[in-house]
A and B are shown apart, each in its own frame.
Chain A
Amino acid sequence: MTWPHKDLLDVTQLTKAHALEILSAAKSFQEINSRPVKKVPILKGKSVVLFFAEPSTRTKTSFDVAGKRLSADTFSLAKSGSSLAKGESLKDTVLTLQAMKPDAIVLRHDMSGAAQFIASRLECSVINAGDGWHAHPTQALLDAFTLSERWDGFEGKTVLILGDIAHSRVARSNVRLLTLLGASVRLCAPKTLLPTAVGSWGVPVFSDLDEAVRGVDAVMCLRLQLERQQAGLLPDIREYSRRFCMTTPRLARAAKNAVVLHPGPINRGWEIASDLADSRESLILDQVASGVDVRMALLHLYLTRKERKE
Chain B
Amino acid sequence: MSHADLVVRGAAPATGLSEPADLFVAKGRILALASAGSRPVPEGARTVEADGMLLFPGLSDVHVHLREPGQEWKETIATGLAAAIKGGFVNVMCMANTDPVNDQASVTATMLEKALRSHPRGPRLYPVGALTVGLAGKALAPMEELKAAGCKAFSNDGRPVADSELFRRALEYASDLGLTVIDHCEDPFLAPGAGINEGVVSARLGLRGAPVAGEAIQVARDCLLARYLGVPIHLAHISCQMSVEIIRQAKAQGAPVTAETCPHYLVLTEDACEGYDTNAKVNPPLRTRQDQLALLAALEDGTIDVLATDHAPHASHEKETPFAEAPNGISGLETALSVTWELTARGELSAQALVNAWCVRPAEIFGLPLNRFQEGDPADFILFDPSARWTVTPQALASKGKNTPFLGRELSGLVRAAYVAGNNAL
Contacts and interface: CB of A to CB of B under 8 A. Distances in A.
B200 interface: yes
Nearest to A118: B322
Given A90-B321, A91-B320, A134-B205, A200 B276 contact: no
A112 interface: yes
A112 B205 CA distance: 7
A197 B204 CA distance: 9
Contact of B322 (A117, A135, A195, A200): A117
Interface in A95-115: 109, 111-114
Interface in B174-215: 198-200, 202-207, 209, 211
A195 B203 CA distance: 6
Given A112-B205, A117-B276, A132-B206, A197 B200 contact: yes
B165 interface: no
Interface in B313-349: 317, 320-325
A116 B321 contact: no
A109 B357 CA distance: 44
Nearest to B209: A196
B275 interface: yes
A133 interface: yes
A169 B275 CA distance: 16
A198 B198 CA distance: 11
- For the residues of A in contact with B, the DSSP-based class is mixed
B323 A111 contact: yes
B22 to A, nearest CB: 53
A38 to B, nearest CB: 35
A195 B198 CA distance: 8
A196 B276 contact: no
A114 B206 contact: no
Contacts of A90: 321-322, 325
A172 B203 CA distance: 9
Interface residues of A, number: 23
B203 A197 contact: yes
A111 B209 CA distance: 14
A237 B316 CA distance: 44
Contacts of B209: 196
A197 B211 CA distance: 11
A76 interface: no
Interface centre among A90, A112, A114, A172 (most CB of B within 10 A): A112
A3 interface: no
Contact of B207 (A112, A116, A117): A112
B77 to A, nearest CB: 28
Contacts of B275: 116
Contacts of A151: none
Contact of A196 (B204, B211, B321): B211
B276 A133 contact: no
Contacts of A195: 202-203
Given A90-B321, A113-B323, A132-B324, A196 B203 contact: yes
A201 interface: yes
Contact of B205 (A113, A117, A196, A200): A113
Given A113-B276, A117-B276, A197-B200, A135 B206 contact: yes
Contacts of A201: 203
Interface in A64-117: 89-91, 109, 111-114, 116-117
A114 B322 contact: yes
Contacts of A116: 275-276
Nearest to B211: A196
A263 B419 CA distance: 65
Given A116-B275, A133-B206, A134-B205, A196 B322 contact: no
14 contacts: A89-B321, A111-B325, A112-B276, A112-B322, A113-B206, A113-B276, A113-B323, A117-B276, A117-B321, A134-B205, A134-B206, A195-B203, A196-B199, A197-B202
